Amino acid sequence: MTQYASITLQNTDDARPIIEAILADNTDVQVLNMPGAVKLDRDHRIVVNRASVEERIGRSWDPQELHLVLISMAGNVDEDDDYFALEWKK
Amino acid sequence: MSAKKLGLKQRYALMTRGLDWETSYQPMDKVFPYDTFEGIKIKDWSAWEDPFRLTMDNYWKFQAEKERKLYAVLDSFAQNNGQTGLSDARYVNAIKLFLTGVSPLEYQAHRGFAHAGRHLRGVGPRIAAQMQSLDELRHAQTQIHTISHYNKFFDGFHEFRHMHDRVWYLSVPKSFFDDARSAGPFEYMVAIGFAFEYVLTNLLFVPFMSGAAYNGDLATVTFGFSAQSDESRHMTLGIEVIKFLLEQHPDNLPIVQKWVDKWFWRGHRVLGLVAMMMDYMLPKRVMSWKEAWEIYFTQAGGALFQDLERYGLRVPKYADIATEEAEHISHQNWAIFYQYTHAAGFHTWMPKPDEMDWLSEKYPNTFDKYYRPRFEMWAEMEKKGERFYNNGLPQLCTTCQIPMGYTEPGDPTTICFRTSEYKGDTYHFCSDGCKDIFDDEPEKFSQSWLPVHQIFQGNCGGATVPDVLDWYKLNVGADNMDYAGSPDEKIWKAWEAAKKSQGPARTEDARTEDAGAKTAAE
């Protein structure tokens, strides 16, 4: 069975650049749009890169700011200064 | 900003591990007396992994920001009479069930994690549990605050805390948390941190809150998602607890597996209330309970348990039965509440024809065959002035405390019925899952406070239904019975009429005027 690493974010102005960054940096992401929320699923690993978000919002961004718009997730968390990733180890 | 900034991992280590110490005035075993009796063996607390490296200073910063956003929304919702923009006032009944059934659990979780945070010996889980304890208190407060707005206009909210401790169906969520909080700290962490937060809470907070957004309840979706932003941290704590316990000692596996089995089943039973809220109580629906179960249990739970296989942990016992029940449980629960609407603190109704069609489409295997005929018959009886009420008191399952209305696996036309003997008494159960839980801890569960037993023993205000409702502080004729003909419906219709005439709302109902006067006074 496919093991989806998954992240669900609010559908807000603060979250949209993060969603865009995820879609740009990860291949084959499945998107489920719900009222008020967006669920992004990818086989085994999905990553949010700091640089990619900063490029879109034009200011420095701390990956922990994700806490403000995060609704849910699946996978083991791997967090550092430059990225936030969720993954199921193969 | 200082010239040299520490990296996340370094900062985290200094701000958590670096602040811990070994006690010297008292031996550690006396300071942490509860972390051995459950049989869990920990060789090395420092092996605990902290995937979310959130330090206390950042915690306050982010939580304050979340609160500012939430309260801005609550203010504008109240200021702009957001309650008049709902899809339909029937929706509010789901929020009544939420406030009476779920919000008090947030407070229970606050106390539970405060206890676990005090009694776990390792500093990593202790700090994570303390943060979660603060989160849960925030959730209870923000939910009560948000929903208090509806209390100005609608019935059923006024005595939520009192009702939580007394009303028959609220004993289902209450006893779930009482069970967890009266267990040891490790079982509590597996029960609430893992089984509830990781495996099941998405089903409550993601599709249901999305449903709140879809039904025009800006305030609820905002507290829901604000709470859920903490939930991701909680889920991570839950999965780390499991991995840590399983990595520490092979003897922990059977204990952890037993807890996972127990708490998955207990959680599944409690969430049957949410199933009903999603399928029957949201006038505009986002997804069916069955679809939510497929996404959040079959798919997400599948990935999780595949990952945990490496430790020898298997999918919870009776997960297959729970998945089969996803086709039935919302219908069976709504049927129970419809029959007992006179004793419930929210309104019920039979689905309208287009809503029945939606249920047929979402439940092609079960709705038309088993539930539509019954609901159509009840709707017909209502039309003839013979609305069906069940005037007996139901037999309850000793473990989950739900009336025994569920059916046999594989046979949706026979009620499922199990019993156990303990010290000369017979105890009744709705399922093999609930019977197994009792059989493993009969001394605990034989002491359950079962609402129907308590009524018959004379402990609930008196021998008649009106006596008991009075003891619940249920406002008869306003809080209970069908939505049709209720004061809630009346005020809603007045608002709708005012919208159409584009004039101010005119109604005989004093609550509209009170609310207007109160707003003016402020």
Model pLDDT for residues B120-138, shown as the tens digit of each residue: 999 889 988 999 999 999 9
SS (H, E, C) B301-323: HHHHHHHHHHHCCCCCCCHHHHH
Mutate which: A76, A86, A88, vs B, most B CBs within 10 A:
A76
- What's residue B2's pLDDT? 52
Distant-in-sequence, close-in-space partners of B303: CB < 8 Å, separation ≥ 6: A1, A2, A3, A4, A5, A74, A75, A88
Query: Who among B58, B207, B239 is closest to A64 (CB)?
Result: B58
ipTM over the 0.85 cut-off = yes
Q: Are strands B407-408 and B411-415 parallel, antiparallel or unpaired?
A: antiparallel
A30 inside 8 A of chain B by CB: no
- Least confident span in B83-87, B228-232, B275-279, B369-373: B228-232
pTM of the entire structure? 0.92
**Of B265 and B56, the one with more pLDDT:** B265
Contacts of B65 in chain A (CB under 8 A): 68
- What's residue A2's pLDDT? 84
> B443, B48, B430: which is closest to B239 by C-alpha?
B48
Cβ-based interface (< 8 Å): residues of B facing A:
7-9, 51-54, 58, 62, 65-66, 69, 202, 205-207, 209-211, 213-214, 221, 225, 228-229, 231-233, 235-236, 239, 286-287, 295, 299-300, 302-304, 306-307
Position A14: which residue type?
D
pLDDT tens sequence across A25-62: 999 999 999 988 999 999 999 999 999 999 999 999 99
Question: What average pLDDT does range B436-446 have in this prediction?
Answer: 98
pLDDT tens sequence across B294-317: 999 999 999 999 999 999 999 999
Question: What average pLDDT does range B253-273 have in this prediction?
Answer: 97
* Distance from the B476 Cα atom to the nearest Cα atom in chain A, whole angstroms: 36
- What's residue B446's pLDDT? 97
8 Å CB contact of A64 and B302: no
pLDDT tens sequence across A69-82: 999 999 988 888 89
Helix ranges, B3-102 (H): 8-15, 28-31, 56-79, 92-101
* Distance from the B274 Cα atom to the nearest Cα atom in chain A, whole angstroms: 18
Residue B383 pLDDT > 50, yes or no? yes
Query: Which residue of A lies nearest to B287 if distances are taken between CA atoms?
Result: A34
> A66, A87, A77, A73: which is closest to A40 by C-alpha?
A73
- B53, B54, B55, B145, B277 from B10: Cα distances, Å: 10, 12, 11, 38, 45
Residue B501 pLDDT > 80, yes or no? yes
Mean pLDDT, chain B, rounded, equals: 92
- What's residue B516's pLDDT? 42
Residue B504 — very low, low, confident or very high, per pLDDT cuts 50/70/90?
A: low
In the beta sheet, which residues pair with residue B411? B408
Query: Which residue of B lies nearest to A83 if distances are taken between CA atoms?
Result: B8
8 Å CB contact of A76 and B221: no
Residue B513 pLDDT > 90, yes or no? no
d(CA B504, CA B165): 40
What structural domains does chain A harbor?
Answer: 4-87 (3.90.56.10)
8 Å CB contact of A6 and B66: no
- What's residue B13's pLDDT? 82
Contacts of B304 in chain A (CB under 8 A): 74
Question: Can you tell me whether residue B269 is helix, strand or coil?
Answer: helix
> B228, B232, B252, B233: which is closest to B242 by C-alpha?
B252
Query: Who among B53, B65, B239 is closest to A79 (CB)?
Result: B53
8 Å CB contact of B229 and A76: no
- What's residue B31's pLDDT? 96
> B218, B236, B214: which is closest to B135 by C-alpha?
B236
A72 inside 8 A of chain B by CB: yes
Distant-in-sequence, close-in-space partners of B471: CB < 8 Å, separation ≥ 6: B166, B460, B461, B462
8 Å CB contact of A68 and B62: yes
Distant-in-sequence, close-in-space partners of B131: CB < 8 Å, separation ≥ 6: B54, B56, B59, B233
Mutate which: B70, B132, B202, vs A, most A CBs within 10 A:
B202
Burial (0-12, 13-18, 19+ Cβ within 10 Å), B238: buried
Q: How many residues does chain B have?
A: 522
A6 inside 8 A of chain B by CB: yes
8 Å CB contact of B303 and A71: no
> Rounded to an integer, what is the distance from CA B213 to the centroid of its chain?
18
Query: Which residue of A lies nearest to B234 if distances are taken between CA atoms?
Result: A72
pLDDT tens sequence across B320-373: 999 999 999 999 999 999 999 999 999 999 999 999 999 999 999 999 999 999
Contacts of B69 in chain A (CB under 8 A): 68
8 Å CB contact of A80 and B51: no
d(CA B341, CA B114): 37
- What's residue B53's pLDDT? 79
Residue B14 pLDDT > 90, yes or no? no
d(CA B281, CA B334): 9
Residue B522 — very low, low, confident or very high, per pLDDT cuts 50/70/90?
A: very low
- What's residue B376's pLDDT? 98
8 Å CB contact of B225 and A34: no
> B207, B256, B249, B255: which is closest to B228 by C-alpha?
B207
**Cβ within 8 Å of B, A 32-71:** 32, 34-37, 39, 64-65, 67-71
- What's residue B511's pLDDT? 54
